[in-house]
Structure 1
């Protein structure tokens, strides 16, 4: 009797397939979406709701506030949001014009902000976004001083969670005439964004650049600095030193339009492990809540939002979840995805520009399928649910504002999550690496 064959844990089917693909092509794999490997995440934390020792709030009679103000450190006009959930930067080029419009519509209905991404500001996005954050990336694609003044805040992107230390890619099939004009690129040619800014090599130079941006905008606009999570304690400390009003910290679960698979899966750290060191840096500098912290990467539910806030964030940002809310990768389009050699929900092929839902494409026939009014309302509905879920949890913990959630309200289900989030393992008072052991 023969022993049945066993799949190797080291050389799994997917690992073997990648070796074979690399051997056949001689090039690394490029895809969109975020990390697919399982990492410690917000699911590994639980809230301790009110019981005998805590007093809950009655959901129908007692207020629980969700508003947040961003940019209070230096900006003359800080941003006022109704909910602590923002829309992350996703470029026109990566996304279609109707998709950018839909993001603006949805965010405006919900009372929050959206962000331009690489490649500049579109009329659709500015026209339908009540609050719009303008990103400045190393590529400088679409960089326009007039758009800086039209924006409500400026976000300097040092790194992204999916690829800290690396630049993004936009394949030639998505470089339409309009995208090419906005980015000053040749049509139909693959482009790769730079991985570092040409104007500075460290925080001292960046401080000078931030001063220039403040002068251009008459000190009106909050200045954000976005970093990919890898060394959050030091990166946040240096961002504060550089003069940031707001810091955006993006974990490795965060998506990307396109980059190397090896980047997505093997560089950066989970957002769960990044929040507490970032908050520690802010606290030690006396800047916690004075310089606001936005965290992103894998936010899906109101529970995720509440846990991020409890660990010390002021707000969260969503990207992939927002695209899903618009209607991308819908099971109703399964047949269309199968024709592309993929499946609804895989998210690998957003970068190829053939999205049947019309969101991550520059093909006029495809993006005409997306109704930005309907898609925007769907996003607004989703944001409303996130806010309501966050309030529900905060009330259950006896909090009258979602920012009153704190680490004391949390426990961890695993040793890893306990160590990363610095909250006790459930049923104990033990935090690995703390309490003297």
Structure 2
């Protein structure tokens, strides 16, 4: 007989743990799959599994208070006459007005501009709040074509053609009816209050040859001024990058499965795509084989949190990174000071992921006017700018410790891995050895 006071008499199944049992029972009760926001919550190989080899005797470090470590990056100078010249290599990912409140979009624009970088529209079109407060704004061109406007293409500083997203490669987004306000409905030419699912593929092309024609069309519309970014979800990365470059991309944006989303099926978030750690070396290999590494810039996203993550992504070969979930947290998402509000809607600070529900106590992922008013765009912008500056300073600190005068000079030789899995994915040696699993024999 089991004694609840004795933990050795009870064992939880690894396969059918409490979460799995709960999901089976929820599905049996409701007959619908679970939808949520955020990104993958399962443990995956990530940047935490890599370490830098700082300078000691064989390398000479830079003095942080006297020697410069530059952070600027140029995105899109392959064909565009007006590429983006950013002060820092950290950009803001596409998050739509619809998924986010107008106040949140304004705050993102304010914060990015203050830190010297760009933000991105997301699905659903361009808002005056975001354009008015963004020094550099990237316009996303998505399969849905919601809010697509040639004048907005011309008003943007770059165009990002979205072919996939890390949290749901091969799938489209979901915007629940309670978040489709009259304003959003008018922008997207949709009925207010009705659930909307975005398309998963573009309606006017079926492959890379058609994409090349579309890219040229976009260049003609914008006078060959704007860089054209191609965004892909990390899955068949090596081939997708080669096809994007062949189609004429100025920039490839690569989103790993740790990237967030406003709403999709949980089974998508947790079981489709690959970690960004595994995807970056494949993308770099594809670019190098085409002699296009650094000519076509690589921007990576999916779980970037710290300056160390930024530095590691760039050491593996990225030109810049993009953040989404971390930017929302900087604005105040999952703030412990609002824990009582989260409890009232059945969640808790640090666990809130129901971005689709429109009940966000922080006023970020909502269209409820009373909730949205809780977010002060000026304060949110200052918080985001502070966070971006800290990310940049942390990355600079690591670069200097490795003897680099520019963050982009970090390289795979500066890294080692803590696990065999991370070593194989990142293609760097296992710490304390010269062994790269899958590349060299033991």
**TM-score (norm: length of structure 2):** 0.98
Match runs of 1:345-364 below 5 Å: 345-364=350-369
Moved over 6 A (4+): none
Mapped pair 1:112 → 2:117: yes
Counterpart for residue 244 of structure 1: 249
Q: CA deviation at 1:129?
A: 0.1
Q: CA deviation at 1:436?
A: 3.6
Q: CA deviation at 1:322?
A: 0.1
CA distance in 2, matches of 1:369, 1:339: 16
C-alpha RMSD of the superposition: 0.7
Mapped pair 1:429 → 2:437: no
Q: CA deviation at 1:15?
A: 0.1
Match runs of 1:75-154 below 5 Å: 75-154=80-159
CA distance in 2, matches of 1:435, 1:96: 50
Confirm or deny: 8 A CA contact 2:342 2:352 kept in the other structure: no
Match runs of 1:36-75 below 5 Å: 36-75=41-80
CA distance in 1, matches of 2:130, 2:438: 47
Q: CA deviation at 1:271?
A: 0.2
Match runs of 1:179-218 below 5 Å: 179-218=184-223
**Partner-residue secondary structure (3-state), 1:6:** coil
Counterpart for residue 18 of structure 2: 13
CA distance in 2, matches of 1:14, 1:108: 42
Confirm or deny: 8 A CA contact 2:86 2:116 kept in the other structure: yes
CA distance in 2, matches of 1:290, 1:304: 23
Mapped pair 1:344 → 2:356: no
Q: CA deviation at 1:329?
A: 1.2
CA distance in 2, matches of 1:114, 1:328: 18
Counterpart for residue 400 of structure 1: 405
CA deviations on 1:59-102 (whole Å, 9 max, x unpaired) are 00000000000001000001000000000000000000000000
Mapped pair 1:156 → 2:143: no
Counterpart for residue 231 of structure 1: 236
Mapped pair 1:29 → 2:34: yes
Q: CA deviation at 1:435?
A: 1.9
Q: CA deviation at 1:339?
A: 0.8
Task: Choose from 269, 288, 307 the match for 1:264.
Answer: 269
Between the two proteins, the alignment pairs up a number of residues equal to 437
CA distance in 2, matches of 1:125, 1:78: 20
Task: Choose from 175, 179, 186 the match for 1:170.
Answer: 175
**Partner-residue secondary structure (3-state), 2:9:** coil
**Partner-residue secondary structure (3-state), 1:257:** strand
Q: CA deviation at 1:345?
A: 1.3
CA distance in 2, matches of 1:168, 1:137: 11
CA distance in 1, matches of 2:269, 2:60: 43
**Partner-residue secondary structure (3-state), 2:395:** helix
CA deviations on 1:255-282 (whole Å, 9 max, x unpaired) are 0000000000000000000000100000
CA distance in 2, matches of 1:346, 1:288: 39
Deviates more, 1:295-304 or 1:345-354: 345-354
CA distance in 2, matches of 1:362, 1:429: 53
Confirm or deny: 8 A CA contact 2:311 2:395 kept in the other structure: yes
Counterpart for residue 415 of structure 1: 420
Structure 2: any 5+ residue segments left out of the alignment? 3-7
**TM-score (norm: length of structure 1):** 0.99
CA deviations on 1:331-386 (whole Å, 9 max, x unpaired) are 01111100110111113211100111100000000011110000000000000000
CA distance in 1, matches of 2:79, 2:113: 25
CA deviations on 1:157-210 (whole Å, 9 max, x unpaired) are 000000000000000000000010000010000000000001111100000000
Counterpart for residue 320 of structure 1: 325
Mapped pair 1:331 → 2:336: yes
CA distance in 1, matches of 2:348, 2:201: 34
CA distance in 1, matches of 2:419, 2:11: 29
CA distance in 1, matches of 2:345, 2:321: 33
Q: CA deviation at 1:318?
A: 0.0
